[in-house]
Structure 1
Amino acid sequence: MRLARLCAIILLAWALGFMAFALRLPQPAGEQETEAVVVLTGGAGRVDRGIQVLRDGWARQLFVSGVDHEVKPHEFAAQYKVRSALMACCVTLGFEATDTRSNALETAAWLKAQDIHSLRLVTSDWHMRRAVMELRRAAPRDVEIVEDAVPTRPTWRILFKEYHKLIARAIIGSLGV
């Protein structure tokens, strides 16, 4: 009987957590200025949002994490209509990351090298919670992170998968891994 109650409580907590996760997705940030904007590749509108933030003067530098090794800086500039002067001064492409955890590690190394203490993180709304969690673990403690979610229309399947990835990383992270 106790086991049945415990299972029911766990199932209820899971269901309520999933509902909150799915119905309260992070939103775009306002016009708050930060030293840098960091974009995690992998979803529509992310890079465009990062470039807009840079052009609007809300950040002085743009770091794009997880760029495919095949992409050349001039190709990136042409695709996103970034002037060469802006590319040269203010845009850094990161080619090492292949997933959210390595995005965080790649970004943390760049933050340390550039001595950056505030950033605007751009990723999809459904991905933001896990991305922030990973980045907070990897980045220096004094770094302020502004969440700037790109609105999407995720399927229930995407939300279901991401919710479970978030739970798994939270559990693994609490174990110190």
Structure 2
Amino acid sequence: MIRRAASLLLIVWALGFALFVVLLPQPLPPARSDAIVVLTGGPGRIERGLALMRRGLAKRMLVSGVAPAVKPHELAARTRAPLALFDCCVDLGHEAVDTRSNGEETARWIAARRYRSVRLVTTDWHMPRAALELRHSLPRDVTVVGDAVKSDPNFGMLLMEYNKFLLRRAAVLVGL
């Protein structure tokens, strides 16, 4: 009986992992939202957010999880974006240190501005957990759409991220 239950659990976990890998989120077509939130930590994320801002698809952008020493002009120079865009429309969030605190930092930023729609930009393999954290931190009336940056993750990275997602989802279900 225990072997069967363990086998069934392993099969369900493996099928879930397969779905996780096959259904990795994709980039979204351009569309307006109140805000864009970019989580640091992967190539192409900030550039994707800035490209959307240049097209006028949001009022403001938050880059969450920026090292405290980084200044707007440094990030503008590194991304070859106009400093004027940073001056008017880009905020750097220095409080977040992980995905969970990205959600909390973003929720405070969105609440302070009373935004109702947000485009979340992060890497495709990171999107399920990042969206879970953000939705968990925000009121239900705020719409979150995930705009994934394509990547080429290896098997180990996908496996680790899937397990993190499952653990965090279980924690949210029990109220943590």
Q: Distance in 2 between matches of 1:23 and 1:141?
A: 28
Q: Distance in 2 between matches of 1:42 and 1:35?
A: 23
Gap regions ≥5 residues in structure 2: none
Alignment correspondent of 1:29: 28
The structural deviation recorded for 1:78 is 1.2
| Cα deviations by residue, 1:96-128 (Å, 9 ceiling, x for unpaired) | 000000000000000001111101000000000
The structural deviation recorded for 1:5 is 1.2
Give the length in aligned residue pairs: 176
> TM-score, length-normalised on structure 1?
0.97
Aligned ranges 1:13-162 → 2 under 5 Å: 13-162=12-161
> TM-score, length-normalised on structure 2?
0.97
The structural deviation recorded for 1:85 is 2.2
Q: Distance in 2 between matches of 1:36 and 1:135?
A: 13
Gap regions ≥5 residues in structure 1: none
Q: Distance in 1 between matches of 2:39 and 2:86?
A: 17
Q: Distance in 2 between matches of 1:23 and 1:107?
A: 28
Q: Distance in 2 between matches of 1:27 and 1:83?
A: 27
| Cα deviations by residue, 1:48-71 (Å, 9 ceiling, x for unpaired) | 000001011221211100001121
Q: Distance in 2 between matches of 1:137 and 1:71?
A: 28
Alignment correspondent of 1:164: 163
- The one-letter code sitting in structure 1 at the alignment partner of 2:2 is L
> RMSD over aligned Cα, in angstroms?
0.8
| Cα deviations by residue, 1:10-44 (Å, 9 ceiling, x for unpaired) | 01000100111112200001112101110000000
Where in structure 1 do 4 or more consecutive aligned residues deviate above 3 Å?
none
